[in-house]
Structure formats: structure tokens, C-alpha cells
Amino acid sequence: MTTLARAINSGLHRALEADPKVLLTGEDIGRLGGVFRVTEGLQEAFGEDRVIDAPLAESGIVGTAIGLIMRGYRVVVEIQFDGFVYPAFDQIVTQAARLNYRTAGRQGVPMVIRIPFGGGIGAIEHHSESPEAYFCHTPGLKVVAPSNASDAHWMIQQAIASPDPVIFLEPKRRYHAAGGDIDDEAAAGLHDARIAKSGADATLIAWGPSVLTCLEAAKASEYDLEVLDLRSLSPVDWPSVYASVARTRRAIVVQEAPRTLGLGSELAARLHEDLFYDMEAPVLRVTGYDIPYPPARLEREYLPSVDRILDAVDRSLSA
């Protein structure tokens, strides 16, 4: 069994080994191996010129990475915690996301921005955010979120190989849990959803840390629930989403992020627009609340739980 953290580490190792133009940079990623030890051993294996300990300056890290890309490198940036990405927001959304368009396709942006995201680790403020909606709303960015070790191992390599900037969201509270075995090859493309569990009565749609919670809810439910792991948040694999919901005729979206204007809202809107006559109940959402992420002692009340998901399933099946 391989943890999600070790799976990402092995994927980064393979990418560094395969292409001398791949560089890693971020705060404390080299000698320390990152605060979650995801990059442990990589500087020792590939040297300080390829696994670079950066200053405490997220905007500078991303801006420097963009410059390196324009000189022919592929750069993987680690943002130490999700809430630390905001100082780099301008560089990401006004530079990295637009550079390909600005140059009429002459300049690719092979950049991966790794962000540990989500709550559940008892952390202090700015360490448990779910910022995916900001980046999904930005044209020019790809956004992905693996939920298990095998996907994480292959998706990080696929993201590094992409010519586009990829926001790579890593569910931090799943880093060191048993993540499963790594498949011999990628089971799906970078932007493909997957059925984590087949079912007939309703579809639970989730990504990142919420996928395991949905699998636990499906196991505890009296109904036969399907769990769809979105994997790619932008672009969304709409054919897979539509096929699952058309089959089960009910959908519940689960996200840690606040409810209003989150990715779940877009999923619900599109399903209602395109599958209105196929569904037997409205799309329901189980989400975080519209408040700043709470102190650690209250986060269990904030995060979507098995009980909250099962309550939504009951409401959907009784509609």
C-alpha cells in the first residue's frame, strides 16, 4: 500500500528523471522535503539546481517560474498551504493563465502549481482552504484533484507533461493515509472522471478529500449509491457526469468549499439545464458553510460528513 504523499513523490521522481528540463521549486521543498514530506529525497537525488528551495514569497516564486518557462523549462511550483496561494493570485490569473492567449499560442505554459488543500488536520487559519472555484473560474487554467495514490502518481506526471498551466490540488488530510496500490499505467486521462463505485439509486459527485467520505457514505447507506470522482475540475468531464446522472436520475454534489458560487453550483446548474427531463429530483449540495474556515475545534461541524451526505440522499430519494 502506498500513501498519496509517497505516490506524488514517486511521480515527481519519474518526471525529473525523464526530462532534465523539469524543475521543482517552493518553500522548504529541498532539504526539508516539504512540510508534508511530499518532496522528501528529491533534492538529494537531483541536486539543488533542480529541486530549489525558494524564498518566502509566493508571488515571486510563481513569477520566477513563468520566466523559467519562457526559457524552455517545465516548472512544478509547490504552494506550502492552500491559504498561501493568494499572494501569488495575480501572477497565476493575469500572467500564467493568459500567456498562451497573449502570444497567440506561441508560448506554452508548462507549469504545475501544487497546492495542498482542504481541511481536517486541525490547523490554524489559512491552512484549510478550498480555493478551487477561483481557479476553475479563470480561463486558461486547468484544475485537477486526485483522491487516491494511483491517480496522484500518474496525474502529476500527466500535469507536468501538459503544455498548459495546471493547478494540482492535493487533499492534505489524505496524504499519509493508506492510499492503495499504484497501477502499472495511468487508468485514465488527466481530465477524465472515474466511477469510484457503481450504483443505481443516486450519484454522489465529489473530488479530492470528499471522495473517500462519499465512499464511506455509500457503504453505510441502505441505497445503492454511485460515487463519481470528478478528478478534473476544469475542464469537467461532462459526458461522464451526464452518463452517470442520466442512469441514476438523482445527483448529490459534495464539496468542502463554501456553498455559494462553488463548483457544486456550476455542476447543479448544468445538470438542471441539460438533464432536466431525465432527473427525478433536484440536484442537492452538501458543502462547507458560507463562513471563513472555522477554528480547529469546530471543523468537524463545518466539513461534509457521512451523516450530512446520507441526509441529502434521504431527501433526494424521497422527492
Which amino acid is present at 136?
A: C
- Which among 158, 243, 272, 171 has a CA at the least distance from the CA of 214? 171
Altogether, the residues listed in the chain come to a count of 319
Say whether 296 sits in a helix, a strand or coil: helix
- 234 sits in the region (left: phi over 0; alpha: psi -120 to 50; else beta) called beta
Selecting among 13, 126, 127, 153, the annotated active-site residue is 127
> Would you say 215 and 226 are in contact if contact means Cβ atoms under 8 Å apart?
no
Look at the block and give the residue holding cell 497567440. 104
- 119 sits in the region (left: phi over 0; alpha: psi -120 to 50; else beta) called beta
Phi, psi of 212 (to 5 degrees): -65, -40
**Cβ contacts of 279 within 8 Å, gap of 6 or more:** 245, 249, 250, 251, 271, 272
Verify whether residue 126 is a known catalytic residue: no
CA–CA distance, 20 with 164 (Å, rounded to integer): 19
∠ Cα 50 90 288 (to 5°): 95
- DSSP3 helix / strand / coil % (the chain, rounded to 5): 40, 20, 40
What is the grid cell recorded at 30?
529541498
Look at the block and give the residue holding cell 457526469. 241
What is the grid cell recorded at 116?
495542498
Residues annotated as catalytic (active site), given as ranges: 127
